[in-house]
Structure 1
Amino acid sequence: VAENVAGDPNRGVASGGAGGLWFPYLCESTERTGRWANETRVRYEQLLQDGLGFEDNGVAVKDVWQCYSPGNDLPPWAPDCPTLELLSVAQVEEKYAPGLPQYMIDQDDFLAYQFEAPIVQVDLFLGHLRRLIEGMGGALVERKVAGPIESLEADVLVNCAGIGNAVEVEGLESDARMRPVRGQIVHCENRANITEAVTIGAGAESAYMIPRGDVVVYGGTSDDGQWDLSVNEDTVEDIIRRCKKLLPEEYTQGMEDRIVGHWVGLRPYREEMVSVEAKTLEDGRVVVNNYGHGGSGFTLCWGCADEVVRMAQAPGT
């Protein structure tokens, strides 16, 4: 159930312009999200082994390295990520060559690690999913639902309305735990042939870059509770400032001249937990929720989908 179809670049839903990096963000940090994340990572890796190329599914595995201020811990998915390794100060300094910037020297016990992760070019990947559904005999039909979700004629109903669950709409009860977390990013040409993703969190400031197949994504923002989908020019300038301050210089040279577009999307954040749960209607049909993934839609998608199938087949378990 969704009014705005994910991946349509003209409809303001987050997945259409997302960075596409496999990395749990703005979702609960628990065993189950760690499991969903690693199940999804494995499925991406299987796609690469199925003989389809990048132009078919938009999936590539690339190096990722991240640095965070003191006090941060390794995420719960880390023990199950076979390529993850901690980085020493010397290794981070080498990545910043010729030397660490002052803001990192001032916090020399920061957390740093690297790993390999899938990165998807979202338009190609979502097109792959559409073809997958159609190849199994499924059909994608867009129409308004007139009445409650239970009025739909189906044995199993899955609520994937995302941020739509935060508001009262016909046929859908609002979820008081849901709210948008606005994200704004900058798309740049990849003239420097950037092949690794980098995230730096230094105190109250952060910056990241993600090389998709078509552009390099620089970001970003997490504007809690904001619904505005317009591009804020002051935010553009601030993203450029933070990226130039925090990221290695070789990745931000001439950044202003490489801009090819901007994107604003609303992450469907849900307090406490992602809603993946089932209920049985009086007539015996099953409704399964699958929403509230925050900034982790492409990170949790396969794991959550498998969970939805299990719940639909045995809703009481």
Structure 2
Amino acid sequence: MDSDRSKGDGNGGAGDGGVVVVGGGVVGLTTAIRLVERGLRVRLWSRDAVTETTSAVAGALWWPYRIEPAAEVGGWSLASLRVYEELAAEPAATGVRLVPGVHADTVLDGLGAWAKELGGLRQLAPDEVPGPYEVGLAARLPLIDMPVHLAWLRARFEELGGSFERRTVTGPGFAEAAAEARVVVDCTGLGARELASDSGLRPVRGQLVLVENPGVDSWFTAADAAADETTYFFPQPGRLVLGGTAQDGAEDLQPDPATAAAIVARCARIRPEIAGARILGHRVGLRPARAGGVRIEAEPLAGGGLLVHHYGHGGAGVTVAWGCADRAAELVCGA
């Protein structure tokens, strides 16, 4: 993952005040790493521990899902895929594994040009598709254990010379950060509704159920981008993650028992042994969707500083994280 890039040397590089990245999820961490790799002095401010961010709730399978703009997503996704393929060489440390599975209700010809860059995609015959689905696509993709991965990202950032700080930014605006750095990078996800006064942001609620794995070693998804119910399961170390929901505009962070029961039932239609699996816990997260898609753009700050916005990744922040981080870093370093 470009590990031979220069370590931050404390000399700034984006100006005497260096850079403050606000937001400690996967988008903020990857952006901070790319900046410190370029030799900048970088501080990352996060309200929460990295394992308590929205990113920690993610499944998290690499696949472009519920994200715009379509013209950019393919390139961002492929750039991120190459990084995950490298990180999969050390799964215990990085949390990244390459795992086989099936995307039901998916046709290869219906995907974007990015799919032609993937090796191993195979259209399945109808009798090969699990459950009540007639079409499906087999693939071997990065599956990421997010608590482990987020902890690795933070450690990597600090190893390169970055500074991680638990700080809460109130808004609107980023005056507090701008007072301490010439460049501020806004990776606040749904928080940018207030901090960046962006009314185009909205939550898409995702609920998951964690169960003991009854022997499932491959992933499965059936996710209609227009539906608020999805069906998927991801085998992670020590658990099987069952999903899910995509409830546009919902903000309730409490797990709903009826929704959880429906998730288990849907997954059990694909793998019946899931029905009897012992429940380990429930998770709810709010995906930061945005009208117009991901926002990566710069605007001037008073006094000659720069604010780079980098948010709105919807349900695919993990999938595009590294590609988007490269773009945000270009805006910072062009300042």
TM-score above 0.5, yes or no: yes
Once the 2 structures are TM-superposed, how far is the Cα of residue 273 of structure 1 from its aligned partner? 1.1
Q: Does 1:198 align with 2:226?
A: no
Whether 1:89 and 2:126 are equivalent positions in the alignment is yes
Q: Tell me which residue corresponds to 1:175.
A: 198
Find the aligned partners of 2:331 and 2:160 in 1 and give their Cα distance: 21
Q: Distance in 1 between matches of 2:251 and 2:230?
A: 22
1:69 positional shift: 7.2
- 2:13 aligns with none
Evaluate the alpha carbon distance shift between residue 233 and residue 265 of structure 1 in structure 2; reply closer, same or farther with a 3 A threshold.
same
- The alpha carbon displacement at 1:18 in A equals 1.5
Task: Give the secondary-structure state (helix, strand or coil) at the position aligned to 2:255.
Answer: coil
Select 1:211's aligned residue among 235, 250, 261.
Answer: 235
What displacement does 1:5 show? Answer: 3.0
- State the shift of 1:281 in Å: 2.8
The equivalent residue for 1:46 is 86
1:31 and 1:76 in contact (8 A); partners too? no
- TM-score, normalised via structure 1 length: 0.83
Number of residue pairs aligned between Structure 1 and Structure 2: 287
**Displacement of 1:151:** 4.0
| Aligned: 1:305 with 2:328 | no
Q: Summarize the alignment of residues 274-285 of structure 1 with structure 2, pairs less than 5 Å apart.
A: 274-285=294-305
Which of 135, 139, 149 aligns to 2:174? It is 149
The residue number in structure 2 matching 1:61 is 98
Q: CA deviation at 1:6?
A: 6.3
Report whether the alignment pairs 1:129 with 2:169: no
Partner SS state of residue 164, structure 2: coil
Q: Tell me, in whole angstroms, the C-alpha distance in 1 between the residues paired with 2:295 and 2:81.
A: 20
Q: CA 1:305–1:66 in structure 2 vs 1: closer, same or farther (change >3 Å)?
A: same
* Pair 174,282 (structure 1): closer, same or farther in 2 beyond 3 Å: closer
* Cα distance, 1:74–1:26 mapped onto 2, change above 3 Å: same
Give the structure 2 partner of residue 27 of structure 1. Answer: 67
Cα deviation, residue 310, structure 1? 0.8
| Equivalent residues of 1:274, 1:292 under 8 A apart | yes
Counterparts of 1:29 and 1:174 in 2: how far apart (Å)? 21
Query: Alpha carbons of 1:201 and 1:266: their partners in 2 closer, same or farther (altered >3 Å)?
Result: closer
Alpha-carbon distance in 1 for matches of 2:109, 2:246: 18
Q: Describe the SS at the equivalent of 1:8.
A: helix
Q: What is the deviation of 1:33?
A: 0.9
Q: Give the drift of 1:173.
A: 3.0
Identical-residue share of aligned pairs (%): 34
Q: Deviations over 1:129-185 (max 9, x none)?
A: 11111111111112233673144211221101111112x3xxx23211100001101
* Alpha-carbon distance change, 120 to 307 in structure 1, aligned in 2, over 3 angstroms: same
